Structure 1
Amino acid sequence: MGNMTLFHYQTPAPDLTVEQLLKDKWQGGKKTVHLMRMSKSVLDANNEPIDDWRTPLAAGTELVFTFPEAISTYLADEQSALTVLFEDEHILAVVKPAGIATHPDGPGETGTLMNRVMAYVKKQGGNYAEHIHRLDKGTSGIVLIAKHPIAKSLFDRMIEQNVITRTYIAEVDGHVKRPKGTIRLPIGRDRHHPAKRIVSTSGQSAVTNFRIIERKEDTTIVEAELETGRTHQIRVHLSHLGHPVTGDTLYDGHATEDGTYRLTATALAFVHPFTEQQMTINI
Protein backbone atom coordinates (compact mmCIF):
# COMPACT_ATOMS: atom_id res chain seq x y z
CA MET A 1 0.00 0.00 0.00
CA GLY A 2 1.41 3.40 -0.92
CA ASN A 3 1.77 6.43 1.26
CA MET A 4 -1.37 8.33 2.04
CA THR A 5 -1.31 12.11 2.38
CA LEU A 6 -2.73 12.99 5.76
CA PHE A 7 -2.26 16.71 6.12
CA HIS A 8 -0.79 19.95 4.79
CA TYR A 9 0.99 22.36 7.10
CA GLN A 10 2.41 25.87 6.80
CA THR A 11 5.38 26.59 9.06
CA PRO A 12 4.48 29.45 11.44
CA ALA A 13 8.01 30.79 11.98
CA PRO A 14 11.41 30.81 10.26
CA ASP A 15 14.46 28.96 11.59
CA LEU A 16 12.49 25.77 12.21
CA THR A 17 13.85 22.65 10.55
CA VAL A 18 11.75 19.62 9.58
CA GLU A 19 13.54 17.63 12.27
CA GLN A 20 12.80 20.25 14.96
CA LEU A 21 9.17 20.45 13.86
CA LEU A 22 8.66 16.69 14.18
CA LYS A 23 10.83 15.94 17.22
CA ASP A 24 10.59 19.08 19.35
CA LYS A 25 7.45 21.02 18.44
CA TRP A 26 5.26 18.00 17.77
CA GLN A 27 7.00 15.52 20.09
CA GLY A 28 6.99 12.82 17.44
CA GLY A 29 8.23 9.45 18.66
CA LYS A 30 11.67 8.26 17.50
CA LYS A 31 10.21 5.29 15.63
CA THR A 32 7.66 7.39 13.75
CA VAL A 33 10.16 10.13 12.86
CA HIS A 34 12.73 7.57 11.68
CA LEU A 35 10.13 5.81 9.54
CA MET A 36 9.08 9.12 8.00
CA ARG A 37 12.69 10.02 7.19
CA MET A 38 13.42 6.65 5.60
CA SER A 39 10.26 6.68 3.50
CA LYS A 40 10.63 10.35 2.46
CA SER A 41 7.31 11.21 4.05
CA VAL A 42 7.77 14.99 4.17
CA LEU A 43 7.11 16.70 0.84
CA ASP A 44 7.19 20.28 -0.38
CA ALA A 45 4.30 22.13 -2.05
CA ASN A 46 5.17 20.43 -5.37
CA ASN A 47 4.95 16.99 -3.73
CA GLU A 48 8.73 16.55 -3.99
CA PRO A 49 10.42 14.83 -1.02
CA ILE A 50 12.39 17.12 1.30
CA ASP A 51 15.69 15.37 1.87
CA ASP A 52 17.33 18.05 4.01
CA TRP A 53 15.71 17.93 7.44
CA ARG A 54 18.30 20.19 9.10
CA THR A 55 18.10 23.45 7.14
CA PRO A 56 15.74 26.06 8.64
CA LEU A 57 12.58 26.65 6.63
CA ALA A 58 11.18 30.05 5.72
CA ALA A 59 8.00 31.08 7.52
CA GLY A 60 4.94 30.02 5.55
CA THR A 61 6.68 27.09 3.86
CA GLU A 62 4.03 24.56 2.89
CA LEU A 63 4.77 20.97 3.86
CA VAL A 64 2.81 17.86 2.97
CA PHE A 65 3.00 14.94 5.41
CA THR A 66 2.38 11.33 4.46
CA PHE A 67 2.66 8.26 6.67
CA PRO A 68 3.74 4.81 5.44
CA GLU A 69 2.28 1.80 7.22
CA ALA A 70 0.08 3.95 9.46
CA ILE A 71 -2.57 1.27 9.73
CA SER A 72 -4.82 0.47 12.70
CA THR A 73 -5.94 -3.11 13.22
CA TYR A 74 -9.48 -2.56 14.53
CA LEU A 75 -12.13 -4.42 12.57
CA ALA A 76 -14.66 -2.11 10.92
CA ASP A 77 -18.22 -2.28 12.28
CA GLU A 78 -20.35 -0.81 9.53
CA GLN A 79 -23.67 -1.75 11.10
CA SER A 80 -23.61 0.85 13.88
CA ALA A 81 -24.01 4.63 13.65
CA LEU A 82 -21.31 7.06 14.72
CA THR A 83 -21.96 10.62 15.90
CA VAL A 84 -19.11 12.93 14.85
CA LEU A 85 -18.89 16.28 16.69
CA PHE A 86 -15.69 17.61 15.12
CA GLU A 87 -13.23 16.54 12.45
CA ASP A 88 -10.16 17.93 10.74
CA GLU A 89 -7.04 16.38 9.16
CA HIS A 90 -5.65 15.46 12.58
CA ILE A 91 -8.42 14.41 14.95
CA LEU A 92 -11.99 13.22 15.28
CA ALA A 93 -14.25 13.95 18.24
CA VAL A 94 -17.03 11.35 18.49
CA VAL A 95 -19.75 10.36 20.93
CA LYS A 96 -19.48 7.03 22.74
CA PRO A 97 -22.85 5.66 23.81
CA ALA A 98 -23.19 4.18 27.30
CA GLY A 99 -22.89 0.40 27.38
CA ILE A 100 -20.12 -0.16 24.85
CA ALA A 101 -16.37 -0.30 25.46
CA THR A 102 -14.07 2.36 24.01
CA HIS A 103 -11.82 -0.23 22.36
CA PRO A 104 -11.46 -4.01 21.97
CA ASP A 105 -9.58 -6.00 24.62
CA GLY A 106 -8.21 -8.46 22.08
CA PRO A 107 -7.72 -9.05 18.36
CA GLY A 108 -10.86 -9.79 16.40
CA GLU A 109 -13.21 -8.26 18.98
CA THR A 110 -16.01 -6.05 17.68
CA GLY A 111 -18.88 -4.06 19.16
CA THR A 112 -16.72 -1.25 20.56
CA LEU A 113 -16.50 2.45 19.73
CA MET A 114 -13.21 1.98 17.84
CA ASN A 115 -14.84 -0.57 15.54
CA ARG A 116 -17.41 2.07 14.58
CA VAL A 117 -14.68 4.69 14.17
CA MET A 118 -12.65 2.37 11.92
CA ALA A 119 -15.64 1.87 9.62
CA TYR A 120 -16.10 5.66 9.39
CA VAL A 121 -12.41 6.27 8.66
CA LYS A 122 -12.23 3.52 6.04
CA LYS A 123 -15.23 4.97 4.19
CA GLN A 124 -13.14 8.13 3.80
CA GLY A 125 -10.19 6.16 2.45
CA GLY A 126 -8.21 6.15 5.70
CA ASN A 127 -6.55 3.26 7.54
CA TYR A 128 -5.52 4.86 10.83
CA ALA A 129 -7.54 5.73 13.94
CA GLU A 130 -6.40 5.53 17.57
CA HIS A 131 -8.21 6.74 20.69
CA ILE A 132 -6.43 9.44 22.71
CA HIS A 133 -8.29 8.70 25.95
CA ARG A 134 -10.96 6.28 27.13
CA LEU A 135 -14.35 6.34 28.80
CA ASP A 136 -15.62 3.56 31.05
CA LYS A 137 -18.09 1.20 29.38
CA GLY A 138 -21.04 2.68 31.28
CA THR A 139 -20.03 6.30 30.68
CA SER A 140 -21.28 8.13 27.59
CA GLY A 141 -19.79 11.17 25.92
CA ILE A 142 -16.94 12.67 23.90
CA VAL A 143 -13.86 10.68 22.91
CA LEU A 144 -10.96 12.15 20.91
CA ILE A 145 -9.46 10.07 18.11
CA ALA A 146 -6.09 10.65 16.40
CA LYS A 147 -6.07 10.36 12.59
CA HIS A 148 -2.30 10.04 12.18
CA PRO A 149 0.65 8.95 14.37
CA ILE A 150 2.02 12.44 15.07
CA ALA A 151 -1.39 13.55 16.35
CA LYS A 152 -1.53 10.44 18.53
CA SER A 153 1.90 11.19 19.99
CA LEU A 154 1.14 14.88 20.61
CA PHE A 155 -2.29 14.38 22.16
CA ASP A 156 -1.01 11.54 24.37
CA ARG A 157 1.48 13.99 25.86
CA MET A 158 -1.24 16.62 26.28
CA ILE A 159 -3.29 14.10 28.27
CA GLU A 160 -0.23 13.27 30.41
CA GLN A 161 0.41 16.98 31.03
CA ASN A 162 -3.27 17.62 31.93
CA VAL A 163 -3.64 20.40 29.34
CA ILE A 164 -6.89 18.99 27.93
CA THR A 165 -9.81 20.07 30.11
CA ARG A 166 -12.39 17.28 30.38
CA THR A 167 -15.81 18.14 31.76
CA TYR A 168 -18.52 15.68 32.85
CA ILE A 169 -22.10 15.93 34.05
CA ALA A 170 -23.15 13.43 36.71
CA GLU A 171 -26.39 12.81 38.56
CA VAL A 172 -25.52 11.63 42.06
CA ASP A 173 -27.53 10.16 44.93
CA GLY A 174 -28.59 12.50 47.74
CA HIS A 175 -28.06 16.21 48.26
CA VAL A 176 -24.49 17.46 47.96
CA LYS A 177 -24.13 20.23 50.53
CA ARG A 178 -21.20 22.21 49.18
CA PRO A 179 -21.98 24.29 46.05
CA LYS A 180 -18.51 23.54 44.72
CA GLY A 181 -15.24 22.00 45.77
CA THR A 182 -12.08 20.10 44.87
CA ILE A 183 -11.48 16.45 45.75
CA ARG A 184 -7.77 15.61 46.12
CA LEU A 185 -7.64 11.95 47.04
CA PRO A 186 -5.29 9.31 45.58
CA ILE A 187 -6.91 6.36 43.81
CA GLY A 188 -5.63 2.78 43.73
CA ARG A 189 -6.83 -0.74 43.01
CA ASP A 190 -9.20 -2.57 45.34
CA ARG A 191 -7.34 -5.78 46.25
CA HIS A 192 -10.64 -7.52 47.01
CA HIS A 193 -12.41 -6.58 43.77
CA PRO A 194 -10.37 -6.50 40.52
CA ALA A 195 -12.85 -4.25 38.67
CA LYS A 196 -13.00 -1.62 41.44
CA ARG A 197 -10.86 1.31 42.44
CA ILE A 198 -10.71 2.87 45.90
CA VAL A 199 -9.34 5.95 47.63
CA SER A 200 -5.96 4.70 48.84
CA THR A 201 -2.91 6.44 50.32
CA SER A 202 -0.72 4.21 48.13
CA GLY A 203 -2.68 5.08 44.98
CA GLN A 204 -2.00 7.61 42.22
CA SER A 205 -2.74 11.28 42.82
CA ALA A 206 -6.20 12.27 41.58
CA VAL A 207 -7.89 15.68 41.49
CA THR A 208 -11.54 16.35 40.63
CA ASN A 209 -13.16 19.81 40.69
CA PHE A 210 -16.94 19.93 40.99
CA ARG A 211 -19.84 22.35 41.20
CA ILE A 212 -23.57 21.89 41.69
CA ILE A 213 -25.75 22.49 38.62
CA GLU A 214 -29.17 21.52 39.99
CA ARG A 215 -30.71 19.97 43.10
CA LYS A 216 -33.49 17.47 42.51
CA GLU A 217 -35.80 15.70 44.96
CA ASP A 218 -33.46 12.80 45.76
CA THR A 219 -30.40 13.53 43.61
CA THR A 220 -28.00 16.32 42.64
CA ILE A 221 -26.73 17.24 39.18
CA VAL A 222 -23.00 17.88 39.40
CA GLU A 223 -20.51 19.22 36.86
CA ALA A 224 -17.09 17.64 37.36
CA GLU A 225 -13.80 18.64 35.76
CA LEU A 226 -10.79 16.32 35.75
CA GLU A 227 -7.27 17.53 36.50
CA THR A 228 -6.06 13.92 36.31
CA GLY A 229 -7.48 10.93 34.45
CA ARG A 230 -7.44 7.95 36.79
CA THR A 231 -9.59 4.89 36.13
CA HIS A 232 -13.14 5.46 37.50
CA GLN A 233 -11.93 8.76 39.01
CA ILE A 234 -15.21 10.69 39.16
CA ARG A 235 -17.13 7.59 40.23
CA VAL A 236 -14.69 6.82 43.07
CA HIS A 237 -14.37 10.41 44.28
CA LEU A 238 -18.10 11.15 44.36
CA SER A 239 -18.84 7.81 46.03
CA HIS A 240 -16.19 8.59 48.66
CA LEU A 241 -18.05 11.85 49.39
CA GLY A 242 -21.14 9.77 50.08
CA HIS A 243 -22.81 10.71 46.80
CA PRO A 244 -22.23 7.90 44.27
CA VAL A 245 -23.31 8.38 40.66
CA THR A 246 -26.96 7.35 40.38
CA GLY A 247 -27.17 3.87 38.90
CA ASP A 248 -23.48 3.10 39.55
CA THR A 249 -24.09 -0.01 41.65
CA LEU A 250 -20.38 -0.93 41.61
CA TYR A 251 -19.83 2.10 43.83
CA ASP A 252 -23.07 1.78 45.85
CA GLY A 253 -25.25 4.03 43.70
CA HIS A 254 -29.00 3.43 43.67
CA ALA A 255 -29.97 1.19 40.76
CA THR A 256 -31.80 2.75 37.80
CA GLU A 257 -34.67 1.16 35.88
CA ASP A 258 -32.63 0.85 32.69
CA GLY A 259 -29.52 -0.43 34.50
CA THR A 260 -27.29 2.44 33.34
CA TYR A 261 -25.55 5.06 35.44
CA ARG A 262 -25.80 8.81 34.96
CA LEU A 263 -22.38 10.05 33.86
CA THR A 264 -21.59 11.80 30.57
CA ALA A 265 -18.39 13.40 29.23
CA THR A 266 -19.89 16.63 27.92
CA ALA A 267 -17.00 18.90 26.91
CA LEU A 268 -13.32 18.99 25.94
CA ALA A 269 -11.18 22.14 25.76
CA PHE A 270 -7.59 22.45 24.54
CA VAL A 271 -5.22 24.42 22.35
CA HIS A 272 -5.02 22.56 19.04
CA PRO A 273 -1.33 21.64 18.65
CA PHE A 274 -1.35 21.99 14.84
CA THR A 275 -3.50 25.09 14.31
CA GLU A 276 -2.72 26.63 17.75
CA GLN A 277 -6.37 27.65 18.05
CA GLN A 278 -8.31 27.36 21.31
CA MET A 279 -10.82 24.55 20.85
CA THR A 280 -13.95 23.71 22.82
CA ILE A 281 -15.98 20.66 21.78
CA ASN A 282 -19.38 20.14 23.41
CA ILE A 283 -22.14 17.58 23.18
Structure 2
Amino acid sequence: MSDQEPVVDLRLDRAHSSRIYDYLLGGKTNFLADRMAAGNVLGVFPSALVAARINREFMHRTTRFLATAGMRQYLDIGTGIPTPPNLHELAQGIAPDARVVYTDNDPIVLAHAAALLRGTPEGRTAYLQADVRDPASILGSPQLRDTLDLGRPVALSLNALMHFVTDDGQDRAHTIVETLKDALPSGSYLAMTHATADFDPETMLKILTIYRDAGTTIQYRSHAEFHRFFDGWELLEPGIALAHQWRPDRPEDATHVTDAEAGCYAALARKP
Protein backbone atom coordinates (compact mmCIF):
# COMPACT_ATOMS: atom_id res chain seq x y z
CA MET A 1 0.00 0.00 0.00
CA SER A 2 1.15 3.53 -0.72
CA ASP A 3 1.60 6.04 2.09
CA GLN A 4 0.99 8.89 -0.31
CA GLU A 5 -2.02 11.13 0.19
CA PRO A 6 -4.86 10.42 -2.26
CA VAL A 7 -5.06 12.68 -5.27
CA VAL A 8 -7.92 15.16 -4.96
CA ASP A 9 -9.74 16.12 -8.15
CA LEU A 10 -10.16 19.89 -7.95
CA ARG A 11 -12.46 19.84 -11.01
CA LEU A 12 -10.94 23.01 -12.37
CA ASP A 13 -12.84 22.51 -15.61
CA ARG A 14 -16.10 23.34 -13.80
CA ALA A 15 -17.00 26.64 -12.16
CA HIS A 16 -17.37 26.60 -8.40
CA SER A 17 -19.31 29.15 -6.36
CA SER A 18 -16.42 29.89 -3.98
CA ARG A 19 -14.01 30.53 -6.85
CA ILE A 20 -16.55 32.71 -8.68
CA TYR A 21 -16.91 34.71 -5.45
CA ASP A 22 -13.12 34.94 -5.19
CA TYR A 23 -12.98 36.39 -8.70
CA LEU A 24 -15.70 38.94 -7.91
CA LEU A 25 -13.73 40.01 -4.82
CA GLY A 26 -10.62 40.55 -6.94
CA GLY A 27 -8.89 37.37 -5.79
CA LYS A 28 -6.45 35.25 -7.79
CA THR A 29 -7.53 31.71 -6.85
CA ASN A 30 -9.91 31.15 -9.75
CA PHE A 31 -9.71 29.49 -13.13
CA LEU A 32 -11.05 29.81 -16.65
CA ALA A 33 -14.38 28.12 -15.94
CA ASP A 34 -14.90 30.34 -12.89
CA ARG A 35 -13.99 33.50 -14.77
CA MET A 36 -16.28 32.60 -17.65
CA ALA A 37 -19.21 32.04 -15.29
CA ALA A 38 -18.42 35.27 -13.46
CA GLY A 39 -18.27 37.10 -16.77
CA ASN A 40 -21.68 35.76 -17.69
CA VAL A 41 -23.06 36.94 -14.36
CA LEU A 42 -21.54 40.39 -14.84
CA GLY A 43 -23.09 40.50 -18.30
CA VAL A 44 -26.59 40.43 -16.83
CA PHE A 45 -25.81 41.89 -13.39
CA PRO A 46 -22.94 44.41 -13.61
CA SER A 47 -23.24 45.25 -9.92
CA ALA A 48 -22.20 41.69 -8.95
CA LEU A 49 -18.81 43.12 -7.98
CA VAL A 50 -20.54 45.54 -5.63
CA ALA A 51 -22.83 42.84 -4.23
CA ALA A 52 -19.86 40.58 -3.45
CA ARG A 53 -18.00 43.40 -1.74
CA ILE A 54 -20.88 44.52 0.48
CA ASN A 55 -21.54 40.91 1.48
CA ARG A 56 -17.90 40.57 2.55
CA GLU A 57 -18.03 43.87 4.40
CA PHE A 58 -21.04 42.63 6.39
CA MET A 59 -18.83 39.80 7.67
CA HIS A 60 -16.18 42.35 8.62
CA ARG A 61 -18.63 44.49 10.59
CA THR A 62 -20.36 41.65 12.41
CA THR A 63 -17.05 40.03 13.37
CA ARG A 64 -15.68 43.29 14.75
CA PHE A 65 -18.93 43.87 16.64
CA LEU A 66 -18.94 40.38 18.15
CA ALA A 67 -15.26 40.40 19.11
CA THR A 68 -15.67 43.79 20.78
CA ALA A 69 -18.74 42.47 22.62
CA GLY A 70 -16.71 39.59 24.06
CA MET A 71 -17.31 36.72 21.62
CA ARG A 72 -14.34 34.37 21.57
CA GLN A 73 -15.57 31.39 19.52
CA TYR A 74 -16.53 31.34 15.84
CA LEU A 75 -17.79 28.69 13.42
CA ASP A 76 -17.60 29.91 9.82
CA ILE A 77 -19.32 27.53 7.37
CA GLY A 78 -18.90 28.15 3.66
CA THR A 79 -15.57 29.87 4.23
CA GLY A 80 -14.56 30.21 0.61
CA ILE A 81 -11.14 31.11 -0.75
CA PRO A 82 -9.05 32.94 1.88
CA THR A 83 -9.47 36.59 0.92
CA PRO A 84 -7.89 38.84 3.57
CA PRO A 85 -8.89 40.06 5.98
CA ASN A 86 -10.30 36.69 7.01
CA LEU A 87 -12.64 36.22 9.95
CA HIS A 88 -9.92 35.05 12.34
CA GLU A 89 -7.71 38.02 11.44
CA LEU A 90 -10.52 40.41 12.36
CA ALA A 91 -11.56 38.56 15.53
CA GLN A 92 -8.03 37.92 16.80
CA GLY A 93 -7.02 41.47 15.93
CA ILE A 94 -9.42 42.56 18.66
CA ALA A 95 -9.32 39.46 20.89
CA PRO A 96 -6.07 37.52 20.38
CA ASP A 97 -7.47 34.51 22.28
CA ALA A 98 -10.38 34.04 19.84
CA ARG A 99 -10.88 30.54 18.40
CA VAL A 100 -12.16 29.95 14.88
CA VAL A 101 -13.21 26.85 12.94
CA TYR A 102 -13.54 27.24 9.17
CA THR A 103 -15.55 24.83 7.02
CA ASP A 104 -15.95 24.47 3.26
CA ASN A 105 -16.67 21.72 0.73
CA ASP A 106 -14.44 23.01 -2.10
CA PRO A 107 -11.18 20.98 -2.20
CA ILE A 108 -9.28 24.02 -3.43
CA VAL A 109 -10.10 25.82 -0.17
CA LEU A 110 -8.39 22.93 1.62
CA ALA A 111 -5.35 23.51 -0.58
CA HIS A 112 -5.19 27.07 0.71
CA ALA A 113 -6.18 26.29 4.30
CA ALA A 114 -2.71 27.17 5.60
CA ALA A 115 -3.63 30.82 5.11
CA LEU A 116 -6.62 30.25 7.40
CA LEU A 117 -4.50 28.74 10.14
CA ARG A 118 -2.05 31.59 10.69
CA GLY A 119 -3.62 32.85 13.87
CA THR A 120 -2.31 34.40 17.05
CA PRO A 121 -0.35 32.30 19.57
CA GLU A 122 -3.06 33.00 22.17
CA GLY A 123 -5.92 31.88 19.93
CA ARG A 124 -6.54 28.93 17.68
CA THR A 125 -7.81 28.27 14.15
CA ALA A 126 -8.80 25.00 12.49
CA TYR A 127 -10.08 23.98 9.07
CA LEU A 128 -12.64 21.26 8.34
CA GLN A 129 -13.45 19.88 4.89
CA ALA A 130 -17.20 19.31 5.13
CA ASP A 131 -20.56 20.19 3.58
CA VAL A 132 -23.25 22.19 5.35
CA ARG A 133 -25.79 19.70 3.99
CA ASP A 134 -24.40 17.27 6.58
CA PRO A 135 -24.41 19.40 9.75
CA ALA A 136 -23.86 16.37 11.99
CA SER A 137 -20.45 15.78 10.38
CA ILE A 138 -19.48 19.35 11.21
CA LEU A 139 -20.77 19.35 14.78
CA GLY A 140 -19.19 15.98 15.57
CA SER A 141 -15.84 16.58 13.90
CA PRO A 142 -12.60 16.39 15.93
CA GLN A 143 -11.47 19.69 14.43
CA LEU A 144 -14.49 21.46 15.90
CA ARG A 145 -14.53 19.59 19.22
CA ASP A 146 -10.80 20.18 19.78
CA THR A 147 -11.07 23.90 18.99
CA LEU A 148 -14.44 25.09 20.26
CA ASP A 149 -16.27 24.49 23.53
CA LEU A 150 -19.93 24.02 22.60
CA GLY A 151 -20.82 24.61 26.22
CA ARG A 152 -19.88 28.27 25.73
CA PRO A 153 -21.34 30.77 23.23
CA VAL A 154 -20.33 30.42 19.59
CA ALA A 155 -20.84 32.85 16.70
CA LEU A 156 -22.12 30.90 13.68
CA SER A 157 -21.37 32.54 10.33
CA LEU A 158 -23.40 31.48 7.27
CA ASN A 159 -22.59 34.24 4.84
CA ALA A 160 -23.70 33.84 1.19
CA LEU A 161 -24.10 30.10 1.73
CA MET A 162 -27.65 28.85 2.23
CA HIS A 163 -28.93 30.05 -1.16
CA PHE A 164 -26.78 27.22 -2.56
CA VAL A 165 -28.88 24.71 -0.60
CA THR A 166 -32.10 23.88 -2.43
CA ASP A 167 -35.06 22.36 -0.65
CA ASP A 168 -35.86 19.68 -3.27
CA GLY A 169 -39.47 19.48 -2.14
CA GLN A 170 -38.52 19.60 1.55
CA ASP A 171 -37.67 22.43 3.90
CA ARG A 172 -34.06 21.32 3.95
CA ALA A 173 -32.22 24.62 4.31
CA HIS A 174 -34.20 25.70 7.36
CA THR A 175 -33.85 22.24 8.92
CA ILE A 176 -30.06 22.40 8.48
CA VAL A 177 -29.83 25.81 10.13
CA GLU A 178 -32.08 24.69 12.99
CA THR A 179 -29.78 21.70 13.58
CA LEU A 180 -26.79 24.02 13.83
CA LYS A 181 -28.65 26.48 16.06
CA ASP A 182 -29.85 23.73 18.40
CA ALA A 183 -26.25 22.62 19.03
CA LEU A 184 -25.23 26.07 20.31
CA PRO A 185 -25.82 27.34 23.85
CA SER A 186 -27.56 30.47 25.05
CA GLY A 187 -25.62 33.62 24.19
CA SER A 188 -24.55 32.30 20.78
CA TYR A 189 -25.03 34.34 17.61
CA LEU A 190 -26.04 33.68 14.00
CA ALA A 191 -24.68 36.03 11.32
CA MET A 192 -26.10 35.35 7.88
CA THR A 193 -26.56 36.75 4.40
CA HIS A 194 -28.72 35.28 1.64
CA ALA A 195 -29.45 36.19 -1.97
CA THR A 196 -33.02 37.22 -2.81
CA ALA A 197 -35.05 37.83 -5.94
CA ASP A 198 -37.43 40.19 -4.13
CA PHE A 199 -36.17 43.31 -5.91
CA ASP A 200 -35.29 42.19 -9.46
CA PRO A 201 -36.77 38.75 -10.22
CA GLU A 202 -35.95 38.86 -13.93
CA THR A 203 -32.23 39.51 -13.47
CA MET A 204 -31.92 37.07 -10.59
CA LEU A 205 -33.51 34.35 -12.71
CA LYS A 206 -30.85 34.95 -15.36
CA ILE A 207 -28.12 34.58 -12.70
CA LEU A 208 -29.73 31.38 -11.41
CA THR A 209 -29.66 29.98 -14.95
CA ILE A 210 -25.97 30.86 -15.39
CA TYR A 211 -25.03 29.09 -12.15
CA ARG A 212 -27.22 26.10 -13.02
CA ASP A 213 -25.60 25.76 -16.43
CA ALA A 214 -22.21 25.84 -14.67
CA GLY A 215 -23.32 22.99 -12.39
CA THR A 216 -24.37 24.93 -9.27
CA THR A 217 -27.95 25.17 -8.06
CA ILE A 218 -29.38 28.24 -6.32
CA GLN A 219 -32.59 28.89 -4.43
CA TYR A 220 -33.40 32.50 -3.68
CA ARG A 221 -35.55 33.21 -0.63
CA SER A 222 -37.92 36.01 0.22
CA HIS A 223 -37.79 38.36 3.20
CA ALA A 224 -40.18 36.08 5.11
CA GLU A 225 -38.21 32.95 4.21
CA PHE A 226 -34.96 34.57 5.30
CA HIS A 227 -36.56 35.75 8.55
CA ARG A 228 -37.48 32.13 9.37
CA PHE A 229 -33.80 31.19 9.67
CA PHE A 230 -33.73 33.25 12.87
CA ASP A 231 -36.85 31.79 14.50
CA GLY A 232 -36.51 31.65 18.28
CA TRP A 233 -33.50 33.96 18.35
CA GLU A 234 -33.39 37.70 19.05
CA LEU A 235 -32.57 39.85 16.03
CA LEU A 236 -30.21 42.72 16.74
CA GLU A 237 -31.06 46.15 15.36
CA PRO A 238 -31.81 46.90 12.58
CA GLY A 239 -33.24 43.39 12.17
CA ILE A 240 -33.49 42.04 8.63
CA ALA A 241 -31.76 44.48 6.28
CA LEU A 242 -29.96 44.53 2.98
CA ALA A 243 -26.29 43.75 3.52
CA HIS A 244 -25.01 47.29 2.98
CA GLN A 245 -27.71 48.75 5.24
CA TRP A 246 -26.86 46.65 8.29
CA ARG A 247 -24.99 49.04 10.61
CA PRO A 248 -22.85 50.62 7.87
CA ASP A 249 -19.52 52.12 8.91
CA ARG A 250 -20.61 55.41 7.33
CA PRO A 251 -24.20 56.63 6.85
CA GLU A 252 -23.64 57.22 3.14
CA ASP A 253 -22.76 53.52 2.69
CA ALA A 254 -26.44 52.65 3.24
CA THR A 255 -27.64 54.72 0.29
CA HIS A 256 -25.01 54.39 -2.45
CA VAL A 257 -26.33 51.01 -3.63
CA THR A 258 -29.91 50.27 -4.71
CA ASP A 259 -31.92 47.39 -3.26
CA ALA A 260 -31.75 45.55 -6.59
CA GLU A 261 -27.97 46.02 -6.83
CA ALA A 262 -27.49 44.59 -3.34
CA GLY A 263 -29.86 41.66 -3.83
CA CYS A 264 -28.88 40.15 -0.50
CA TYR A 265 -30.52 40.12 2.94
CA ALA A 266 -28.42 40.18 6.10
CA ALA A 267 -29.01 39.88 9.83
CA LEU A 268 -27.38 39.07 13.16
CA ALA A 269 -29.31 37.34 15.94
CA ARG A 270 -28.61 36.11 19.49
CA LYS A 271 -29.83 32.93 21.14
CA PRO A 272 -31.76 33.79 24.34
Shared topology, TM-score over 0.5?
A: no
Query: TM-score normalised to the size of structure 2?
Result: 0.26
Give 1 or 2: higher helix fraction.
2
Indicate the structure (1 or 2) with the bigger Cα radius of gyration.
1
- Which structure's residues are more often strand, by fraction? 1
